[in-house]
Amino acid sequence: MALRLQAAVARTVITPPLSIAHAGWGAQTHQRAEGVDLDLLATVLVVADGESEAALVDVEFCTVGRELSDRIRNAVSDLTGIPVVHVRLSYTHTHSGPMLGSSWMSEGEELIPAYAASLPGRIAGAAWEARRQLRPARAPTNCRPRSGSPGVPGCGPRRRGSTLAARKWWLNCTACGSDRSRWWALPGSHSARSGPA
């Protein structure tokens, strides 16, 4: 039997409440988050080939500790049935996000436990939505590396978009330098949303 790649993407808003501890850089003059420029997102790409499935979870945080990472990965596994060893969590390392643990801050830390506790379920919901939306997909295989390149295409989110729907995953050939960039978002894909729009 030939394996058939399927994929889908879903997102959820993970913007923390105002006044949460916000210590993204040393030169700041505040300790609590004072506003929202862009919502922070959790984006989940689920891929399947008919024999196995995987969920790639990307969150817009500076760091995620092992305990919270394990809680998120287990929640995704429990809700979707995807084995926890097939759930990968990574973070964008944005310095504009909240603190998720104790720090040098003296203000806003009281909001962290409840916010962090809300994340596994919200992110698992996005994974469930992506898995529910699986559809046939293709991955480029005819890329030839240019001299000095590692030969690995790169994936990443488009952070600045006019709407939540405009922030799509894109696949850009960094190996050969071609202009064959492709939007990874699939026609008709939906965003799982929780929290403020």
Tens-place pLDDT, residues 55-77: 999 999 888 999 999 999 999 99
Residue 2: per-residue pLDDT: 64
What's the mean per-residue pLDDT of the chain?
A: 75
Distance CA 57, CA 123 (A): 8
117 pLDDT band (50/70/90 cuts)? very high
1 pLDDT band (50/70/90 cuts)? low
Tens digits of residue pLDDT in 19-56: 888 866 667 777 888 888 889 999 999 999 989 999 99
Report, as an integer, the average pLDDT of 85-102: 86
Report, as an integer, the average pLDDT of 5-24: 88
Query: CA dist 175 to 45, 105, 141, Å?
Result: 22, 42, 12
**Out of 58-67, 76-85, 98-107, 152-161, least confident range:** 152-161
7 pLDDT band (50/70/90 cuts)? very high
Report, as an integer, the average pLDDT of 159-181: 40
Q: What is the dihedral of CA 81, 87, 93, 95, to 10 degrees?
A: 20
Could you tell me what percent of the chain has a pLDDT over 70?
A: 66
Distance CA 39, CA 47 (A): 25
**Cβ atoms 76, 87 nearer than 8 A:** yes
- Which residue type occupies 69? S
111 pLDDT band (50/70/90 cuts)? confident
